[in-house]
Amino acid sequence: MRNKFAVALVFLLAIPALADQVLLKNGDKLTGSITKSDGKTLVLKTDYAGDLTIKFDAIQSLTSTGDLNVTAGAKTAVGPVTTTETNIVVAAKTGGPVEAPLSSVTMLRSPAEQAAYEKSLHPGLLEGWAGGLNLGLALTAGNSETKNLNIAFNAERKGFHDKLTLYANTIYAVNDKPPAETTANSNGGGARYERDFAPRVFGFGSADFFANALQDLNLRSILGGGIGAHAIKNAKTTLDLLAGVNYTHESYSIPINPPPATATTQNLAAITVGDALTYKLGKSTNITQSFLFYPDLSDTSQYRFTFNFGTVTKINKWLAWQNSLADVFVSNPPYVAPPAPRIERNDLQLSSGLNFSFKH
């Protein structure tokens, strides 16, 4: 019985020794499991306080009982870690110990964190998506009988060197009071793919589609591509500047040119210039803005632009309040033969409602 008690006591006393240890410059000693570090902070997983984030320059020394993936300056190694007064020492399984200044450390990862990082470099097609579904509904009855529905979907999949964005939106409004009429019926959607080929420069390709029943516009297709620059890129703000070319095909259900050369389609080639901004306002609100300008290559007096502005304010992890403004402007809209109503130059949409967010 005494032998069993002695073995149990030794085991209990050995538990702290099996944990990773971090000694701070103020004399505090912390134990747990080193999860990761970027050279600025270190995350220590503990049983008594969860994940602790520690300033790296506040660390006097550290010791790991298991392997860590380490990058220090130009050196990389995998193995248990100890420190001297100024250096970090990795007991690499091959090639002998690797030593480098502690101040040169730019990465520490546990095996689990390293596996997650490597997987994130090559996510599956259905992995890494984040976005939301916007829903707005308004009804009136009595002196007026109207229905207004707006639905929007957006999703973004970010890799380390690329980004894929999808979006779709629809607005439908009807007045049921005689004479009943539809006052809005438009649908849009598209995708844009970006690929970095330098820290601040990327290439992009895009496809946008738009239909508006009140304009007799069956489909407007805009296919484009070009290059962009990350003018600002940090945790709070991203500002991209874009330049390229695009091709537009428009199809209408009625003649859009005066006789005798009547037609229901037209094709345009144009330049693309613009910007895309995302900004985090406080802890709960995200602001997005984009502006794309399309001067016509065949007729410099003609141009088009699209402007989008939106806010999403989180209520909880999956629910938020969204507001959006979209403006599509055409300087010289196609001519429509009477008695059909003319096509207006400006198409403005304002919506507000709930946002149901997701992340995969």
Burial of 187 (0-12, 13-18, 19+ CB in 10 A): middle
Series of mean pLDDT values for 10-residue runs along the chain (360 residues): 44 55 93 93 91 92 92 91 91 87 92 86 76 88 84 88 92 87 90 93 96 89 96 93 95 82 86 95 93 90 91 92 91 78 82 87
pLDDT at 90: 93
- Distance from C-alpha of 128 to C-alpha of 105, rounded to nearest angstrom: 28
For residue 14, give every residue at least 6 positions away whose Cβ sits within 8 Å of its Cβ, in sequence order, or none. Answer: none
Token pair in block for residue 310: 């939106």
Query: In sequence order, what DSSP letters do the residues of 59-105 get, joined into one string?
Result: EEEEE-SS-EEEEETTEEEEE-EEE-SSEEEE--SSSS-EEEEGGGE
pLDDT at 190: 95
CATH 2.40.160 positions along the chain are: 129-359
Token pair in block for residue 355: 């946002």
pTM: 0.70
Token pair in block for residue 34: 């080193």
Decide: 44 and 54 in contact? Cβ < 8 Å: yes
- Distance from C-alpha of 286 to C-alpha of 326, rounded to nearest angstrom: 17
110-118's contacts with Cβ under 8 Å and 24+ in sequence apart are 110/33, 110/34, 110/35, 110/36, 110/66, 110/68, 110/69, 111/66, 111/67, 111/69, 112/35, 113/35, 113/36, 113/69, 114/69
User: Which residue, 196, 192, 127, 194, is CA-closest to 161?
Assistant: 196
Decide: 291 and 310 in contact? Cβ < 8 Å: no
Q: Which CATH architecture has domain 129-359?
A: Beta Barrel (2.40)
Residue 163 corresponds to which amino acid?
A: K
pLDDT at 172: 92
